[in-house]
Amino acid sequence: MDYITDAISYIINLGPTVILPITLVFIGMIFGTGFKKAFRSGIIVGIGFVGINLIIGLLMDELGAAAEAMVQNFGIRLDVIDAGWPASAAAAWAMPISVLLIPILLFVNLLMIVLKLTNTLNVDIWNYWHMIAAGATGYIVTGGNIWFAVVCAVLYEVVILVVADKTQPYVENFFGLEGLTFPTGSPIGFGLIGIPLAWLVGKIPGIKNIKADSESIQNRLGIFGEPMMIGLILGTAIGLLGGYGIGEAFQVGIAMGAVMLLMPRMVKILMEGLIPISEAARTFMKKRFPGRDLFIGVDAALAVGHPGVLSTSLLLVPVTLLIAIILPGNSVLPFGDLVGITFFVVFVLAASKGNIVQSVITGALMMVITLWLATDFAAMHTEMMAGTGFQAPGDATQIVSLTTGGNPLNWLILKFAELYQMVFGG
């Protein structure tokens, strides 16, 4: 058993740039692409993800530092620190149930496909950590009940896959990623409240008539409406709000402009590898199951390259900090996951038909709910982090991440676990 555990842990620790290509090679061969074509596709996907991760790393480094400076410049002091999604992922993978859950979650996905409960084959194994975190919530609340932890993780997965199917038209028609879905915990969980809120905001008189999609902005502003220019302007503004000098703020702006320009190109490289696998999967399904499609579930990082997603998330950084200061009942200091807002707003932007003004308003309303949920989740998340040795920095007494603690789906799992423990825990 230890050998199996060590082998799975070793593979997981390699990260998505290795796991996804290996997975796609096997899937491609199963769907009849042949080894050479599957291997080439897998390598291209791996290279594409290296590029995407480099750009996301640039985004996190530059925007994260500017956000930290902004927090200090505003003098914000709150009891709960947002440590960001990497802390949640580390805590999830460190849980004793993580190795058990991976094969169970894979089996459930395949079973749901066979039973026609989903059309999504989730190959994004690295992001299984979202489901494992849900299982860890049940495990901790019930004092180590492994089977209830499995139930929580599977429930989370079922919702993720069903909603991924429902949001597939957004992925294909809005983001232009044919045959793919985003079964990632962040966009799905936040989409549960973000999509209805976007619909409501789109009905508000006056606001509903504002044309503020990327194309309209570019037509109106000319060169200054280009994605890289918007990144430059917003990045520089965030740097200035953080108290940076003109030169340092401009460096942040250049970095954000680079993200805006380079990310879509990295996504194109990755899609070059994914398309043959996706087409083979759909052909395979249509031959054996007429009338059915099979979608490949991938990381929602592919949507981060959309200029509207980046513009909305950059605008929401100072807005979120302002909300945190004035919101009654909030104890969370947004920090680590300010960069993660890019994932929160993926389906918000799509539901708003690319309208950045509506997306920012919707995102602000969503962040109000998120901060309240994260405040309530903080004690649970702090206990989850205990196994990693992570300590709350400064004056903070608890640790949370907006990606997990502020995610409505994770919060519902927490309430389900608390109810179970109250009724059956004794």
Q: What is the mean pLDDT of residues 203-209?
A: 84
pLDDT of residue 108: 96
pLDDT of residue 95: 81
- Model confidence at 41, in pLDDT bands (50, 70, 90)? confident
Question: Is the pLDDT score of 73 beyond 60?
Answer: yes
Residue 257's Cβ-side half-sphere holds a number of Cα atoms within 13 Å equal to: 17
Q: What is the mean pLDDT of residues 70-99?
A: 80
Cα 275 from Cα 287, distance rounded (Å): 18
pLDDT of residue 23: 81
Question: Is the pLDDT score of 407 beyond 90?
Answer: yes
pLDDT of residue 216: 67
* Angle at alpha carbon of residue 402, lines to 398 and 406, rounded to 5°: 95
Question: Is the pLDDT score of 373 beyond 60?
Answer: yes
pLDDT of residue 12: 66
Least reliable range by pLDDT among 176-185, 260-269, 337-346:
260-269
pLDDT of residue 11: 67
Q: What is the mean pLDDT of residues 140-148?
A: 91
pLDDT of residue 363: 96
Say which DSSP state 181 is in.
Answer: E
pLDDT of residue 221: 61
CB 325 within 8 Å of CB 371:
no
Cα 234 from Cα 82, distance rounded (Å): 23
pLDDT of residue 112: 95
Q: What is the mean pLDDT of residues 114-136?
A: 90
pLDDT of residue 426: 55
Cα 264 from Cα 277, distance rounded (Å): 20
Q: What is the mean pLDDT of residues 268-291?
A: 79
pLDDT digits (tens, 9 = 90+) for 150-177: 999 999 999 999 999 999 999 999 999 8
pLDDT of residue 164: 97
pLDDT of residue 389: 58
pLDDT of residue 367: 96
**Pick the residue with more confidence: 355 or 385?**
355
pLDDT of residue 5: 61
Question: Is the pLDDT score of 411 beyond 90?
Answer: yes
Percent of the chain with pLDDT over 90: 35
Q: Which amino acid is at 71?
A: V
Query: CA 254 → CA 62, 91, 224, 335, distances in Å?
Result: 10, 34, 14, 22
pLDDT of residue 9: 65
CB 31 within 8 Å of CB 288:
no
- Model confidence at 394, in pLDDT bands (50, 70, 90)? low
What the block records as the tokens of 57 is 């790393």
- Model confidence at 408, in pLDDT bands (50, 70, 90)? very high
Question: Is the pLDDT score of 406 beyond 90?
Answer: yes
Burial class (CB in 10 A: 0-12, 13-18, 19+), 369: middle
pLDDT of residue 174: 94
Q: What is the mean pLDDT of residues 274-289?
A: 79
Question: Is the pLDDT score of 4 beyond 70?
Answer: no
- H/E element, 177: none
pLDDT of residue 75: 72
CB 234 within 8 Å of CB 314:
yes
**Pick the residue with more confidence: 294 or 350?**
350
Question: Is the pLDDT score of 40 beyond 80?
Answer: yes
pLDDT of residue 172: 94
Phi, psi for 329 (deg, rounded to 5): 85, 0
Q: Return mean pLDDT, the chain.
A: 85
pLDDT digits (tens, 9 = 90+) for 210-257: 786 767 666 676 666 677 887 888 889 888 888 888 899 999 889 888
pLDDT of residue 24: 82
46-49 — which CB contacts under 8 Å span 24+ positions? 46/17, 46/18, 46/20, 46/21, 46/273, 47/269, 47/273, 48/266, 48/267, 48/269, 48/270, 48/271, 48/272, 48/273, 49/16, 49/17, 49/20, 49/270, 49/299, 49/301
Beta bridge partners of 181: 297
Q: What is the mean pLDDT of residues 190-203?
A: 95
Q: What is the mean pLDDT of residues 19-31?
A: 82
- Model confidence at 97, in pLDDT bands (50, 70, 90)? confident
Q: Identify which of 152, 166, 138 has the alpha carbon closest to the alpha carbon of residue 104.
A: 152
